[in-house]
């Protein structure tokens, strides 16, 4: 189906938007994707990106890319750059310039002063332990901080002293004065600002007080004129602070102010979608880098051979709801398989090579044969493949004695068709000194190129091959699940679930036309699966994207 003609998905967020447009609450839809630059984006973020950018696009609205950069101790410009690259690669364009919460620090400061002036915020000198104790529990209401009744003038002065660095890190914070007996813990005088003597990647050393997420997020949304602020379910309770802050600030308490809506986050089988945990995998060398092809990061998936279209399609297939669940990895894999089946050029690669000699084929002759690039799409054209007396086939495609009549590969005295080529019959083989098969000897039937034998014989199976003199050596990286547990995030120690065999390296041969393969461009290695050239290797290295069929659920 042409994506242009695809029916737009229905979900509860679109229902809300439809109502807001028909009641004229909003004329234009504006969303944002607000990553914190403290790691690389993962497949969970892709869901949020597709939702935010995709929804805005479908309603002819706008979507901002805004870095939620309020915690300098964990953030880095490397992450800012990788996030921009990943969003673009996924096929989305943000409205105008990239936005940074840090560019609103002055406005946030003025808003904080407004809350203090209204008696709605105060500087609190309780330490961490005391603050926790005063907060109470779900069962018991909290206790007012002894600093809650400091005068407005004094609080304004103390806050300005926080700003100029008169207090140490952790000595005091600015808190909202809301309700210490609220049944929502997050409403028990939440922290709005804390002190951090850290250099920030955007504002350098301009600030030593940094706003908390709950304060910065709603204000950033309001400043940018966001209409629908979409976030994940764990922020459901925090919606109360979001509203409280905007309602208590004169400039932002408007009828068209932003509203927060929560949807369920993506949890993917055999993966973790927590930047913190992904960073641990990198830091503890369980994987090579953030873009290791085993990582569920966008850059890892890209290097593995996933296409942007397949990730967008996946996001659509899983839909948007308010129910948390664990998404079956086969949904992601079928999305990429469906895409690559249509677009990937076909080629042959021998991953576990064994030499095969065709004894009745003339020595020194190399024949050029024509093979289609795609069996169902003639417009993709043809490629030259080669044939001679010596070829490589896969070890797995030969056995001395066929186990039964259904056996479809090569065995002594059995015939098989070489893909895009002739029918051959195995006659005998050599072993090396360790007893492994070294060379298989065959004969070929010269009258079977592109046709069945005239005497009515039929070769049961087809195997792939690469001609030996033209073959190019290549490394193949075959990936398995990174985790043994289908839901590793529920484990205390993620490393206990690492699959020690998540990467297998093989050395074999590919058709000569692959010597110039473009990195990250998918090929179907016939009978083997989808592969793409690795983007980080000088040599010819291919990453296996996914097999041809779903073998996990069998």
Instruction: Decide: helix, strand or coil at residue 96.
Output: coil
b/e map of 222-236 (b: 16 or more CB within 10 Å)?
bbbebbbbbbeeebe
β-strands 228-232, 209-211: how paired? unpaired
Kindly list the catalytic residues: 36, 265, 275
What's the token pair of residue 535?
Answer: 């983007």
Q: Among 63, 90, 176, 231, which residue sits at the site for ligand ATP (rule: CB under 6 A)?
A: 231
Among 17, 26, 30, 34, binds ligand ATP (CB under 6 A): 34
Residue 301 CB-half CA count within 13 A: 26
Nearer to Mg ion, 245 or 546 (CB): 245
- Among the candidate windows 41-49, 153-161, 249-257, 431-439, which touches ligand ATP by CB under 6 A? 41-49
| Torsions phi, psi for 419 (to 5 deg) | -50, 130
Tell me if 35 contacts ligand ATP by CB under 6 A: yes
Site for ligand ATP in 43-82 (CB under 6 A): 44-45, 47-48, 68
**Separation between Cα atoms, residue 241 and residue 226, nearest integer Å:** 17
Contact partner at residue 273 from Mg ion, ligand ATP, none, CB < 5 to 8 Å by partner kind:
ligand ATP
305 binds, among ligand ATP, Mg ion, none (CB under 5 to 8 A by kind): none
Q: Which residues bind Mg ion (CB under 5 A)?
A: 36
Residue 247, judged by CB atoms within 10 A of its CB (0-12, 13-18, 19+), counts as exposed
Q: To the nearest whole angstrom, how small is the minimum distance from the Cβ of residue 413 to ligand ATP?
A: 56
- With CB under 5 to 8 Å by kind, the binding choice for 182 among Mg ion, ligand ATP, none is none
Q: How far is the CB of 44 from ligand ATP (least distance, A)?
A: 2
Which region holds residue 430: left if phi is over 0, alpha if psi is between -120 and 50, else beta?
Answer: beta
The binder of 275, among Mg ion, ligand ATP, none, by C-beta within 5 to 8 A per type, is: ligand ATP
Residue 123 near residue 155 (C-beta atoms within 8 A): yes
* 6 vs 276, beta carbon nearer ligand ATP: 276
Q: CA quadruple 320, 325, 326, 327: dihedral positive or negative?
A: negative
Q: Which is nearer to Mg ion, 274 or 352 (CB)?
A: 274
| Interface map 264-283 toward ligand ATP (x if CB under 6 A) | -xx------xxxx-------
Q: Between 47 and 188, whose beta carbon lies closer to ligand ATP?
A: 47
CA–CA distance, 263 with 234 (Å, rounded to integer): 9
**Phi/psi-derived region of residue 347, left when phi > 0, alpha when psi is between -120 and 50, beta in every other case:** beta
Q: Which does 513 bind (CB under 5 to 8 A by kind): Mg ion, ligand ATP, none?
A: none
Length reported for the chain = 554
Q: Residues in the site for ligand ATP, rule: CB under 6 A?
A: 34-36, 44-45, 47-48, 68, 231-232, 265-266, 273-276
């Amino acid at each position: 189906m042409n994506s242009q003609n695809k029916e737009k998905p229905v979900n509860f967020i679109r229902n809300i938007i439809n109502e807001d447009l028909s009641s004229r609450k909003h004329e234009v839809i504006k969303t944002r994707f607000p990553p914190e630059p403290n790691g690389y984006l993962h497949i969970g973020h892709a869901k949020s990106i597709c939702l935010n950018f995709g929804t805005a696009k479908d309603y002819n609205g706008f979507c901002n890319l805004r870095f939620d950069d309020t915690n300098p101790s964990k953030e880095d410009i490397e992450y800012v750059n990788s996030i921009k690259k990943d969003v673009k690669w996924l096929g989305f364009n943000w409205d105008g310039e990239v936005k940074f919460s840090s560019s609103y620090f002055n406005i946030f400061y003025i808003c904080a002063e407004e809350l203090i002036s209204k008696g709605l915020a105060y500087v609190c000198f309780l330490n961490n332990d005391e603050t926790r104790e005063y907060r109470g529990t779900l069962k018991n209401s909290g206790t007012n901080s002894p600093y809650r009744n400091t005068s407005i003038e004094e609080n304004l002065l103390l806050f300005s002293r926080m700003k100029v660095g008169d207090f140490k890190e952790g000595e005091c914070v600015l808190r909202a004065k809301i309700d210490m007996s609220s049944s929502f813990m997050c409403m028990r005088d939440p922290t709005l600002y804390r002190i951090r003597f850290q250099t920030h990647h955007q504002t350098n050393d301009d600030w030593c007080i940094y706003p908390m997420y709950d304060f910065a997020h709603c204000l950033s949304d309001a400043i940018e004129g966001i209409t629908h602020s979409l976030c994940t379910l764990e922020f459901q309770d925090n919606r109360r602070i979001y509203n409280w802050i905007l309602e208590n600030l004169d400039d932002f308490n408007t009828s068209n102010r932003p509203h927060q809506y929560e949807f369920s986050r993506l949890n993917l089988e055999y993966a973790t979608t927590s930047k913190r945990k992904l960073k641990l995998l990198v830091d503890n060398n369980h994987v090579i880098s953030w873009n290791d092809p085993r990582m569920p990061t966008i850059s890892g998936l890209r290097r593995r051979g996933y296409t942007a279209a397949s990730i967008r399609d996946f996001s659509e297939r899983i839909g948007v709801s308010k129910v948390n669940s664990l998404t079956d990895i086969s949904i992601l894999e079928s999305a990429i398989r469906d895409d690559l089946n249509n677009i990937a050029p076909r080629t042959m690669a021998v991953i576990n090579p064994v030499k095969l000699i065709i004894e009745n084929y003339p020595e020194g002759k190399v024949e050029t044969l024509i093979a289609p690039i795609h069996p169902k799409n003639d417009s993709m054209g043809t490629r030259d493949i080669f044939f001679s007396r010596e070829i490589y086939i896969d070890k797995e495609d030969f056995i001395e004695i066929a186990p039964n009549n259904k056996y479809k590969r090569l065995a002594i005295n059995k015939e098989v068709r070489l893909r895009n080529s002739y029918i051959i019959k195995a006659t005998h083989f050599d072993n090396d000194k360790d007893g492994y098969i070294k060379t298989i000897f065959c004969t070929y039937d010269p009258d079977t190129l592109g046709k069945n034998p005239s005497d009515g014989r039929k070769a049961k199976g087809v195997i792939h091959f690469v001609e030996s003199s033209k073959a190019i050596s290549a490394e193949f990286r075959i990936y398995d699940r990174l985790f043994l547990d289908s839901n590793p995030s529920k484990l205390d120690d993620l490393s206990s679930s690492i699959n020690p065999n998540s990467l297998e390296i093989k050395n074999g041969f590919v058709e000569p036309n692959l010597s110039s393969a473009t990195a990250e461009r998918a090929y179907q290695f016939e009978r083997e699966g989808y592969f793409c050239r690795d983007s980080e290797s000088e040599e010819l290295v291919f990453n296996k994207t996914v097999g041809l069929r779903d073998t996990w659920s069998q």
